[in-house]
Structure 1
Amino acid sequence: YNEAVREAQIDLLPCAYLHNYKCAEPPAYDPLLDPAYLEYLERAPAFCNGDVVKLRDFICRHIQHGDDGQVLYHIESGRLRPSKSLQDALTGMLAGNDEFVMIDDQKVIFEQAVHLAREAQRTGERHVLIVRGGPGTGKSVVAVNLLVRLTAEEMVVQYVSKNSAPRNVYAKLLQQGNRSKAYIANLFRGPGKFFEHTGAPLDVVVVDEAHRLNEKSGLFQNLGENQIKEIVAASRFSVFFIDETQRVTIKDIGSVSDIRAFAEQAGAHVHEADLFSQFRCNGSDSYLDWLDDALSIRPAEERITDLDYDFRVFDDPHQLFAAIAEKNAAANKARVVAGYCWEWPKDSKPNPNTHDIVLGEHGFSISWNLATTGTWAIDDSSIHQVGCVHTCQGLEFDYVGVIIGDDMRVEGGEIITDHTKRAKSDKSLSGIKSLAKADPTRANRIADEIIRNTYRVLMTRGLRGCYVFCTDPALAAYLRERMPRPSAPAPYAPMPEQLSLAAEDPLED
């Protein structure tokens, strides 16, 4: 990205000086020198306590004479701009990928965002664009296209998402031929480092799944102030793609009102837009309206007579898996996902032979997705593992199979949720027990919303169909009963004779 480095052809050689680290004397084992790291140490040697002479020799070998700090000055003051090779690589990667083709109002939002990015560059003023859109309206498609287009216009752009799954998948899909992932890896990042940003703002930050942003950052949620505020402050132009009904953890705080408030606080020009056209769920708004109504998230405004979508409820998980596997055979675009009601032990994460999800009464068992890959959604063999909301949110398949666990059931003809049935290893509801002691009403409301939203997300990952198995038979019956039945055509009845005569032209002789 540094123009001075490219234009002056400055060679950058990495190394590390760990002045407080003492290496173990051979033959004792030293973790820093583990064979797993040898490839990296060859490219970026590490010098430890007592290695001053070795460090001096390394520097003298590569720097023949001093220049009074001129090279350092040029690097420090060099303009950050993507290289032409990176621009060409990104544009070439996007071409021919059907996953990223935009249509209808996606193009309108895209052009609006490009215009605002240029305006922010021209004036130096800060702009924020908030884009609302439900599942399947193309938020991620527009986000990736903005990343590529604005990088091609020599802007420094970063694609941000809380969930690592879409970042990993989009980075892999954008790779073609023999190009290294290094071309694009640094374009994708999580939101947890912007509190460290100093210096000039980035040209553009594109935030996908902005509803998943947290207040604070870090492993212990103790760093920074607010991720929304920090992203706005770190960029001249920021785009937030958001769907507030997809908040699925207790820490998700992304909202339109908060983004608007922090943008105005930073003196930014605030713009808002909506994506309406539905491209997932077979383009069926009816299915989405029915699902929201069935899950008691939002009542349908009018009677739904046809889902126009392949939705099925299975009584046997074997049949569900077989149906999804059959759909997957065509193009590797079908997966099974589940609510987080089964533990995911650390020991089993890399082992496909450990079956975490066990439905004993059906003789069915299967493993969660493996921790050995970050691209479960598109890996060739991952049909044999089950994903969760954290590995599929922001992504889509042709068909999705959903296992609804014991955290959702039907009692008295109504859906109820039960957060105590969630696995202990699930961090989505981390802190809910403490909150329940202090304010049980609020805790139950938050947990209920998160569980319903979770299944809404899972059940809207399919472009063409969603197949469901419920551990609660009453819930399966409830969903079946609520499925609309297309009305039978009315029997033909000829019009009465007098009406036919009355329709004749009275002027005709």
Structure 2
Amino acid sequence: MLLQLSAAELGRLIVDRAGAEYLPLTEQLIHEHFRREGAEARQGDIASWNNSIPVVVKALLDCGLDTVEVQVEVDLPHTNSAVDLVLCGRHPGTGTDSYLAVELKQVRHATVDPLCPIAVDLGFGDGKNKLHPVRQVQSYCEYMLRYLPHLRENERQLMGVVLLHNARDPDVEELFGLPETDHGFLYTLDDLDRFRRVLTSMFAAASGKRAASALEQARQDPLPKVTDVARQRSVVGGGLVLLDEQHVAVDRITRHLEKTAHFTGYDVGLFYDADAAHSSASAPGAKRVYILRGGPGSGKSAVALEVQRALGLKGREAVLASGSHAYTETLREIMVSTARRGQIAEKRRTAVRLYRYFNSFSETPQDSIEVLICDEAHRMRRSSTHRWTPKEVRDDDRPQATEVIRAARVPIFLLDDHQSIRPDEVGTATYLKELAERMGCKVEVTDLEGTFRAGGSKRFQRWVQQLLGLDATDPVAWRPDGRMTLTVADSPQQMEQFIRERHLAGFTARITAGFCWPWSNPDGERLIDDVQIGDWRRPWNVKPQHSVPGAPKSDFWSTDRRGVDQIGCVYTAQSFEYDWNGVIIGPDLLFRNGKFTVDRTASRDPSFRSTIDDAVVTRCILNAYHVLLTRGAVGTVVYAVDPATHNELRRLVTGALGLQNYDGTQPKLTAEGSPLPPAHRTRRG
């Protein structure tokens, strides 16, 4: 939240000053934004603060609601999205806490995409559709209700509105086609009297400080991991609350399937036209390929699971494929775990059919799969040929992606351009788009710009990319944003102690490391302590082809609580997330001359053969650390084996682990410790 003041206090800040470019309120918000985000506010936000907030403040004052508290830019739990305003007060009838979420839009004209009723052109001139503002505020309210139990105490406690204070009804007429709910009403310049009636129906002329404080201090329910969502969906059919571009992407895909029913095989749906479907004039046209690109935690897997669920509710089967063995086997196991007695074998067959691998479509008949969702598509290989492929069916020149596109009527790819970690992984948005277009397909590329990991910290994602030089910029110091905890451990022992304490406190917590140590087969029923740093030594997670008593199989290392006892590698951690993330940077990544460089000789990854070009190895190792550093949902702890590299992390990251004493109790290792390592705390003469 950027600012909280009463309507009366804000009223004194929205008075024009001679010669000033902005209102005093706007200048204060610009300052607060820079202090919190470390970057200049966007012009669109500044214009909204300067032109839109005063409309709401004046409406409150006109209604005699001077003591209603107004919260500006209220963060949604676990995300980087924010509600423009949340008004807090007391209900005039019940006296209970009452809240109104307000989305402010300065648009004057708006049209709805004919193929997708929640995608709209708001007249910004950028050629991009936005989420329908009513659906936006509805989603925000639903999200707040899901993660803030305080708002669930009374179903009438929270309402949502969109205020288009510059627009006339006829100029945005198409927006009124979307059904309104208590969490989403639309008001224009023609409706300001109705908007004032909403205010007086929601708030009494009494102080809103209690309600604002209760919301600010409300307990936040934890964000479920992707595997939690998949498990809940398998048991109760529960869906996800999607936000902004996620919602547009899912709705656009499902609407396209309904619109093109005669081609995709859909004989139900809002847009199905039986006459058109059987008309000789209705040619199917080019196959449409969807590419959804987003960074770590942007909700790619959430979109994949939600598309599959939404189609399943319509009685349609969508196959979800991946290049990750751990991810695929985890989803299969979740489905099998819901089987009733006597149905396990049938459930397992269904799981194998619905959750597959990228290399399993080489012999699939053309267009035999209605919808094929390729999650983690950055792991798409150059070809499906592998060492066990029979000689008679080998085809090293046929791209794996062509097999996938050919097999599906509607192929969907979800990927991150910075997560391919093997030399033969080629799945970037550019590569897939060009390949699909050469096959005669129409391609839609959508960027998922939000983040649901790292406490919703987009700053942390950007910082990791800068740290590793993935965006062609130099590393910068980490500036805490209150969303993500980033800290440096003095030693691997200290990191392990901290991670284990978080594990015992009920958090999910894991340690991973760069692939810089050998990975031995188990010695009978015992794992070998391959990862050795000084006197500290621990085993890698179990190899995929082995089983060891007391340790989870490699596919379940990220989700089985016993995984805290082993060190995970990138191939085991990719696709998953956990609350606390410990990362050991090995000697394959060194900080020299102001940037990170790769030393391929320190890597033990068998895929980096001598014939692999240095540039490819560098890309893979940097992407591997990008994956490892972005697994944490709450916090990340780092340690570098190389002393110079560790010193650089100390310079760039202020956070440190250390013992803290609370109320005379036993000291605890926390992420708020002294930034000075023990070896440097005593001044030497």
* Structure 1 unaligned regions, length at least 5: 1-88, 436-442, 486-509
2:598 to 417, 435, 441: 417
Per-residue CA distance 1:23-71 (angstroms, 9 max, x = gap): xxxxxxxxxxxxxxxxxxxxxxxxxxxxxxxxxxxxxxxxxxxxxxxxx
Structure 2 match to 1:108: 248
Hey, what's the Cα distance between the residues in 2 that align with 1:404 and 1:234? Answer: 40
Structure 2 match to 1:33: none
Hey, what's the Cα distance between the residues in 1 that align with 2:505 and 2:334? Answer: 19
Structure 2 match to 1:258: 431
The answer (yes or no) to whether the contact 2:466–2:476 under 8 Å persists in 1 is no
Structure 1 match to 2:193: none
The answer (yes or no) to whether the contact 1:352–1:370 under 8 Å persists in 2 is no
Structure 1 match to 2:441: 268
Hey, what's the Cα distance between the residues in 1 that align with 2:584 and 2:648? Answer: 15
Hey, what's the Cα distance between the residues in 1 that align with 2:515 and 2:243? Answer: 35
- Cα pair distance change 1:121/1:165, threshold 3 Å: farther
3-state DSSP class of the match of 2:630? Answer: coil
The answer (yes or no) to whether the contact 1:116–1:127 under 8 Å persists in 2 is no
Hey, what's the Cα distance between the residues in 2 that align with 1:351 and 1:336? Answer: 22
Q: CA deviation at 1:317?
A: 0.8
Report the TM-score when normalising by structure 2. 0.52
3-state DSSP class of the match of 2:651? Answer: helix
Query: What number of residue pairs does the alignment pair up?
Result: 383
1:93 to 223, 228, 234: 234
The answer (yes or no) to whether the contact 1:263–1:270 under 8 Å persists in 2 is yes
Hey, what's the Cα distance between the residues in 2 that align with 1:410 and 1:468? Answer: 14
Hey, what's the Cα distance between the residues in 1 that align with 2:446 and 2:364? Answer: 28
3-state DSSP class of the match of 2:303? Answer: helix
1:234 to 398, 407, 421: 407
Hey, what's the Cα distance between the residues in 2 that align with 1:397 and 1:204? Answer: 30
Counterpart residue identity of residue 611, structure 2: S
Structure 2 match to 1:395: 576
3-state DSSP class of the match of 1:170? Answer: helix
* Structure 2 unaligned regions, length at least 5: 1-229, 265-283, 548-552, 656-685
Structural RMSD (CA): 2.6
| Structure 2 residue 575 is matched with structure 1 residue 434 | no
The answer (yes or no) to whether the contact 2:475–2:595 under 8 Å persists in 1 is no
Q: CA deviation at 1:271?
A: 1.4
Q: CA deviation at 1:238?
A: 0.7
| Structure 2 residue 623 is matched with structure 1 residue 453 | yes
Report the TM-score when normalising by structure 1. 0.69
Hey, what's the Cα distance between the residues in 2 that align with 1:90 and 1:347? Answer: 31
The answer (yes or no) to whether the contact 1:408–1:417 under 8 Å persists in 2 is yes
Counterpart residue identity of residue 237, structure 1: V
The answer (yes or no) to whether the contact 2:377–2:427 under 8 Å persists in 1 is yes
3-state DSSP class of the match of 2:359? Answer: coil
Counterpart residue identity of residue 368, structure 1: N
The answer (yes or no) to whether the contact 1:402–1:458 under 8 Å persists in 2 is yes
The answer (yes or no) to whether the contact 1:232–1:262 under 8 Å persists in 2 is no
1:158 to 319, 337, 361: 319
Structure 2 match to 1:496: none
3-state DSSP class of the match of 1:189? Answer: strand
Identity %: 27
Hey, what's the Cα distance between the residues in 1 that align with 2:372 and 2:437? Answer: 17
- Cα pair distance change 1:96/1:147, threshold 3 Å: closer
Per-residue CA distance 1:103-129 (angstroms, 9 max, x = gap): 443222111221223344433442210
Structure 2 match to 1:471: 641
Hey, what's the Cα distance between the residues in 2 that align with 1:301 and 1:364? Answer: 30
Structure 1 match to 2:467: 294
Report which stretch shifted further, 154-163 or 121-130.
121-130
The answer (yes or no) to whether the contact 2:232–2:238 under 8 Å persists in 1 is no
Q: How does 1:176-325 map to 2 (within 5 A)?
A: 177-179=338-340, 180=344, 181-182=347-348, 183-198=350-365, 200-220=367-387, 222-223=394-395, 225-298=398-471, 299=473, 305-308=479-482, 309-325=484-500
Hey, what's the Cα distance between the residues in 2 that align with 1:366 and 1:158? Answer: 36
The answer (yes or no) to whether the contact 2:463–2:476 under 8 Å persists in 1 is no
| Structure 2 residue 545 is matched with structure 1 residue 404 | no
1:149 to 298, 306, 310: 310
The answer (yes or no) to whether the contact 2:487–2:637 under 8 Å persists in 1 is yes
- Cα pair distance change 1:240/1:199, threshold 3 Å: closer
Structure 2 match to 1:358: 532
3-state DSSP class of the match of 2:575? Answer: coil
| Structure 2 residue 624 is matched with structure 1 residue 482 | no
Counterpart residue identity of residue 338, structure 1: A
Q: How does 1:333-348 map to 2 (within 5 A)?
A: 333-347=508-522
Per-residue CA distance 1:78-125 (angstroms, 9 max, x = gap): xxxxxxxxxxx9995164768x55344322211122122334443344
The answer (yes or no) to whether the contact 1:332–1:378 under 8 Å persists in 2 is no
3-state DSSP class of the match of 2:539? Answer: strand
Hey, what's the Cα distance between the residues in 1 that align with 2:331 and 2:607? Answer: 24
The answer (yes or no) to whether the contact 2:467–2:476 under 8 Å persists in 1 is no
Per-residue CA distance 1:204-249 (angstroms, 9 max, x = gap): 1000111110111132384461111111111000110011111111
Q: CA deviation at 1:394?
A: 1.3
Per-residue CA distance 1:175-213 (angstroms, 9 max, x = gap): 554443514232111111211112542101000111110
